[in-house]
Amino acid sequence: MTRVSLSRRPRQTDIARFAGVSVSTVSRVLANEPGISSNVRDEVIRIASELGYNIRPVPSAHPQNQRSVALIPVDQATGALGVFYEGILSGLRGAATRSGGTLLPRLVRSSSLKVSELQQTLSETEATGIFLVGIDPPEDLCSYLLESKIPTVWVNGNDPDLQFDCVSPANFYGARLATQHLIDAGHRRILHFTMSHRHTIRERIRGFEAAAMKGGATTRIVQLPSTSSRTSTAACEAMEAILVEDQGFTAAFCMNDMMAVGVMEAVTNHHLSIPQDFAVMGFDDLPCASMTMPRLTTMRVDREAIGQEAYYLMQRRIADAGAEPRKVELAVRLVEGATVQPATKAESAERSV
């Protein structure tokens, strides 16, 4: 093992250079923040010690025997998005196991979640932290959580007031990239199918509108009933009506992959070819995306990574209750399917007219 030394007072940039990591990684290790592998952490500490860097003791970011409860909407967990939340829960459980903690999932009716119900859950589980998974809590519940100072992390959620730690996919940027992918393929009349009032989904609408405005596309927001339990069927019926109107739309970006499946069904029923006559873009990369014919083009959300990051935020919150709330967005990436076909220059010019 090579020893390192300097003839001057060491800086974090020196530690980063010798350890072969970024300065931000060094900063996180020295602040004892979670989310850094043990090998990297040990190497950074070793080099910092050899250089004579003054490592100040900080509260442990890995409290032992941490008991947390994850509240999950029962309608989402038992519906078409069950696999989405299963991935998040897997990430939470994995991070808890690696940290020696305990994660206790609970299904709840998020639309009617009351303070008394939450208090009872905390009493029964003896949990010291709460994960709100896919839940936008009402004002009275937010007030209770803030006043009681119970460590709380919104998972797949976005607190518009940033009073709580939260982690979600990069919904705005992902939607903007998805829409831009359609525009780059030559489409100038694009539909957007959506159905939720949640903050995260509104971010996808904003991303769609931003890309469409920049690309000069004509758009239409297709708002499906939020009470519909059969997302694919609702999307299919709405798309059928639009095709009958024949307004010249050539592509659709859907809030999630289930909607995209419904749109594809309607397009096929009208004897149109995908993607030659009509292009379809999904979001989330759920298992159904790989079952369509042709394979759905979509945006992949790393659901396990969301759960893991949420657990790290909880560890940070418990270690430093006074830390400023942190909002984390994880990148989403394009999954090239076969439902969006790049247009020729001639087709692109024709659609622009």
Q: How far, in Å, CA of 146 to CA of 150, rounded?
A: 7
The distance in angstroms from the start CA to the end CA of the chain is 67
Question: Ramachandran region of residue 198, left (φ > 0), alpha (ψ -120 to 50) or beta?
Answer: beta
Amino acid 7: pLDDT:
67
Type of residue at 191: L
Q: Give which of 233, 226, 192 is closest to 212, Cα–Cα.
A: 192
Rounded to the nearest 10°, the torsion over CA 28, 30, 32, 37 is 60
Amino acid 149: pLDDT:
93
Residue 320 has phi, psi (to 5 degrees) of -140, 85
Q: How far, in Å, CA of 203 to CA of 186, rounded?
A: 24
Question: What's the whole-model pTM score?
Answer: 0.79
Q: Which residues contact 164 (CB under 8 A, 6 or more apart)?
A: 142, 145, 152, 153, 154, 325
Q: Which residues contact 289 (CB under 8 A, 6 or more apart)?
A: 257, 260, 282, 295, 296, 298, 335, 337
Amino acid 40: pLDDT:
82
Type of residue at 216: G
Amino acid 23: pLDDT:
86
Amino acid 9: pLDDT:
82
Residue 90 CA, chain-centre distance (Å), reads 14
Q: Which residues contact 257 (CB under 8 A, 6 or more apart)?
A: 282, 283, 284, 285, 286, 288, 289, 296, 298
Amino acid 87: pLDDT:
94
Q: How far, in Å, CA of 11 to CA of 7, rounded?
A: 12
Amino acid 167: pLDDT:
97
Amino acid 351: pLDDT:
46
Amino acid 88: pLDDT:
96
Q: How far, in Å, CA of 90 to CA of 311, rounded?
A: 11
Stretches in the chain below the pLDDT threshold 70: 1-7, 34-35, 38, 56-65, 227-229, 343-353
